[in-house]
Structures are given as C-alpha cells and as structure tokens.
Amino acid sequence: MIEKTVKIVNKAGLHTRPAATIVKLAAKYKSDFFIYRDGMSINGKSIIGVMTLAADIGSELKLTFDGPDEQQACEEISAYFERGFDEL
C-alpha cells in the first residue's frame, strides 16, 4: 500500500468537475483508492463520496492506494492534484 499527502492548490478547491475527473482516473486502475480528510475516509472510486469532500485551497488530504497497479495510480492521481486540477 502507498500513502501520499497532497495539497489543494487551485483557487476553487475540490469542486464537482475535479471530483468527477478524479473518479474517472481512479476507475482505470484495479487498486483500491481512498481519500482521508478530518478522520473520514472516502472511497475515491465513488463520485458521490468524493463530492462530500469540501476541500478548499490549502487543505491537505491523505491518499492511499492498494493493489497491483498502486504505483501508477498514485502517480497519475497525485499529479492531477499537484497540477491544481489543471486550473492554475
């Protein structure tokens, strides 16, 4: 299992559109993917789950990946966070 902490860097935060993209990215991989925030864990493959996260700019989230393709999944998804969901 891989753990990675990411920071929200875009102005608008984790709004509906990036939420949808994250879920779409996660769906490509076999590995389990969870997002942790304030003691809550959200399954990253669930759009309705990811939509409950109100993550503003500056907030930190812990991501975990577990499975055969965890490395690639972690790279692609955390890169998307780091690019500020392509909104920078």
- Active-site residue set: 15
Residue 26: half-sphere exposure toward Cβ, Cα within 13 Å:
24
Interface residues for other proteins in 5-64 (CB under 8 A)? 11-13, 15-20, 23-24, 43, 45-49, 51-52, 54, 56-58
String of b and e for 15-42 (b: at least 16 CB within 10 Å)?
eeebbeebbebbeebebbbbbebeeeeb
By CB under 8 A, residue 79 contacts other proteins: no
| Residues 6+ away with beta carbon under 8 Å from 54 | 13, 14
From the CB of 64, what's the least distance to other proteins, in Å?
15
By CB under 8 A, residue 2 contacts other proteins: no
Q: Are 46 and 15 in contact (CB under 8 A)?
A: no
From the CB of 56, what's the least distance to other proteins, in Å?
6
- Chain residues binding other proteins by CB under 8 A are 11-13, 15-20, 23-24, 43, 45-49, 51-52, 54, 56-58, 86-88
